């Protein structure tokens, strides 16, 4: 004879199967009254159904059918055009291959990957990355290479580190990586900004800041900058390295999309002759976001202080993931994957570039590269928040470019376009919608009242 809680379980299952329950389930009290039992009996039944992944609970909201939740997200994924997200497209990420590398790492390294490792990183992974960097003509040594929990951890440590010479300020490009800006703001660190446009940086202004301000490091993304999407010229990179040495300023180079660059584009680190460039290579945007691994090359004079800080941050970066990444690189899967990735995003970016040609009759300012993930489109005289709301009503998500600037910095209204999660057909559809709406705004007689640009 079935117990009360088993009867409730069977009842809920039956109602889900016949379609009577598709979203929120009856409250605990309602079921207790219906089956003449205690609340604890219903809770027990619901707990069992949760274990079976048939339902899920939301605090203070009740219980819901799991299938409905999954269908909801699937439905949204099918119709929303998301130009806002910076998360890599799951369609290209090598989950199954990486899972095999993880399993092989457990077998090969055994208990070593479940124990503490060096704070600077798991030796096999450091060896794998050194080999990779040698192929890319990036000179490094084992002692200078650190594995961190994403580039964000390295940036956080560097921003707090005492670089000596009574220098305490950080210089950032405008626009730049928004999460780092939030970190600087939260920690109330002294920050200066320097304009970077589609043509690069004003090197005379850079020299003035290096010479007259207490800049301890300049944070820059020389290649495929986020959010601009553009890269600095080789001559500009050489000159920045020269200025850093001349004025004893460090450069923190964030090369987060290093593997998507063309062969004739080099990291700024290549032009560093006096260990003034701190080089960071992230695997989050390139490989698997949740892995949270990044490689950082430090000048010898900063190794000890950086190491001391890192121990207090996380003691050691997750070792199992380091072991898996090491084997993924060693067996050639990383190189094969990057070849596919360059074609995957390159195809999207070139399509995006071609589709943007129709916008040439509008008052926009942009420059689109042949590969990468992002592009910034400046839109003078447009109220970006209203545009974003308008496009969202058409299931198109855009990102306000102001998120990538210091609050006090002058900025032209803009949107950061991301191709991370937008398929080719959605790029065409989304840009068609955007063009039609912008055309209406620019041709409207009320445009003058829409949002006049005030400088």
pLDDT tens digits, 307-364: 999 999 888 888 999 999 999 999 999 999 999 999 999 999 999 999 999 999 998 9
283-319 confidence digits (pLDDT tens): 988 888 888 999 999 999 999 999 999 999 888 888 9
Q: Same domain for 435 and 383? A: yes
Q: Specify the pLDDT at position 13.
A: 87
User: Among the residues of 168-291, which ranges form H helices?
Assistant: 178-186, 203-212, 234-246
Q: Same domain for 300 and 314? A: yes
User: Among the residues of 94-147, which ranges form H helices?
Assistant: 95-109, 123-135
Residue 454 lies in a domain: no
Q: Same domain for 111 and 60? A: no
Of 27, 42, 74, which residue sits at a domain end? Answer: 74
Angle, helices 150-160/178-186, rounded to nearest 10 degrees: 40
| Tally of domains within the chain | 3
Residue 61 lies in a domain: yes
Residue 412 pLDDT greater than 90, yes or no:
yes
Q: Specify the pLDDT at position 452.
A: 37
Residue 454 pLDDT greater than 60, yes or no:
no
**Cα separations (Å) of 106 from 110, 336, 386, 438?**
5, 23, 52, 54
Contact status, residue 302 vs residue 143, Cβ threshold 8 Å: no
Q: Same domain for 276 and 295? A: yes
98-146 confidence digits (pLDDT tens): 999 999 999 999 888 888 888 999 999 999 999 999 998 899 999 999 9
Q: Quote the domain boundaries for residue 295.
A: 95-332
**Cα separations (Å) of 88 from 84, 100, 127, 421?**
12, 21, 26, 7
Residue 216 lies in a domain: yes
Mean pLDDT of the chain, nearest integer: 90
Residue 451 pLDDT greater than 60, yes or no:
no
Q: Are strands 62-65 and 55-58 parallel, antiparallel or unpaired?
A: antiparallel
Non-local CB neighbours of 212 within 8 Å, separated by 6+ positions: none
Q: Same domain for 324 and 424? A: no
Give the pTM: 0.81
How many other C-beta atoms can be found within 10 angstroms of the C-beta atom of residue 447?
A: 15
Q: Same domain for 376 and 252? A: no
Q: Same domain for 311 and 386? A: no
- Burial code (b: 16+ CB inside 10 Å, e: under 16) for 356-383 equals beebeeeebebebbebbbbbbbbbeebe
Q: Same domain for 231 and 357? A: no
Residue 192 lies in a domain: yes
Residue 142 lies in a domain: yes
Q: Same domain for 205 and 237? A: yes
37-51 confidence digits (pLDDT tens): 998 899 889 888 887
Residue 287 lies in a domain: yes
Q: Same domain for 149 and 190? A: yes
What gap in Å lies between CA 371 and CA 325, rounded to an integer?
24
Non-local CB neighbours of 178 within 8 Å, separated by 6+ positions: 403, 404
User: Tokens 């707090």 appear where?
Assistant: 160
Cα dihedral across residues 419, 422, 428, 430: positive or negative: negative
Q: Same domain for 373 and 302? A: no
Residue 455 lies in a domain: no
Q: Same domain for 299 and 243? A: yes
Confidence of residue 78 (pLDDT cuts 50, 70, 90): low
Under DSSP, the state recorded for 446 is: T
């Amino acid at each position: 004879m079935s117990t009360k809680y088993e009867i409730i379980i069977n009842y809920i299952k039956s109602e889900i199967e016949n379609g009577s329950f598709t979203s929120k389930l009856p409250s605990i009290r309602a079921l207790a009254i219906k089956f003449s039992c205690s609340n604890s009996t219903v809770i027990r039944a619901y707990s069992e159904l949760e274990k079976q992944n048939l339902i899920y609970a939301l605090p203070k909201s009740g219980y819901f059918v799991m299938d409905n939740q999954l269908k909801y997200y699937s439905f949204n994924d099918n119709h929303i055009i998301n130009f806002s997200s910076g998360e890599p497209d799951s369609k290209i990420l090598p989950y199954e291959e990486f899972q095999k590398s993880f399993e092989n790492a457990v077998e090969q390294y055994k208990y070593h990957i479940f124990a503490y490792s060096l704070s600077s990183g798991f030796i096999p992974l450091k060896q794998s990355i050194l080999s990779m960097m040698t192929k890319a003509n990036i000179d490094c040594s084992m002692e200078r290479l650190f594995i961190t929990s994403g580039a964000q951890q390295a940036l956080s440590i560097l921003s707090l580190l005492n670089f000596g010479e009574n220098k305490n300020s950080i210089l950032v490009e405008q626009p730049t990586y928004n999460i780092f800006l939030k970190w600087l703001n939260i920690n109330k660190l002294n920050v200066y900004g320097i304009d970077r446009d589609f043509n690069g940086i004003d090197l005379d202004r850079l020299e003035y800041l290096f010479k007259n301000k207490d800049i301890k490091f300049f944070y820059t993304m020389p290649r495929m900058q986020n959010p601009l999407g553009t890269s600095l010229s080789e001559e500009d990179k050489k000159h920045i390295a020269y200025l850093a040495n001349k004025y004893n300023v460090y450069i923190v180079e964030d090369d987060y999309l290093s593997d998507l660059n063309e062969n004739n584009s080099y990291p700024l680190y290549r032009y560093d002759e006096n260990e003034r460039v701190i080089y960071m290579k992230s695997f989050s945007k390139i490989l698997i976001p949740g892995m949270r691994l990044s490689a950082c090359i430090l000048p010898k004079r900063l190794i000890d202080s950086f190491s001391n800080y890192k121990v207090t941050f996380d003691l050691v970066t997750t070792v199992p993931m380091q072991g898996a990444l090491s084997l993924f690189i060693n067996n050639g899967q990383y190189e094969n994957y990057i070849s596919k990735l360059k074609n995957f995003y390159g195809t999207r970016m070139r399509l995006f570039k071609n589709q943007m040609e129709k916008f040439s009759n509008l008052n926009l300012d942009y420059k689109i590269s042949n590969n990468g993930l992002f592009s910034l489109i400046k839109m003078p005289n447009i109220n970006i928040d209203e545009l974003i709301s308008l496009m969202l009503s058409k299931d198109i998500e855009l990102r306000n470019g102001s998120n990538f600037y210091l609050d006090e910095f002058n900025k032209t209204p803009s949107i950061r376009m991301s191709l991370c999660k937008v398929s080719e057909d959605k790029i065409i559809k989304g840009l068609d919608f955007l063009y039609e709406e912008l055309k209406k705004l620019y041709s409207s007689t009320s445009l003058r009242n829409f949002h006049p640009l005030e400088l």
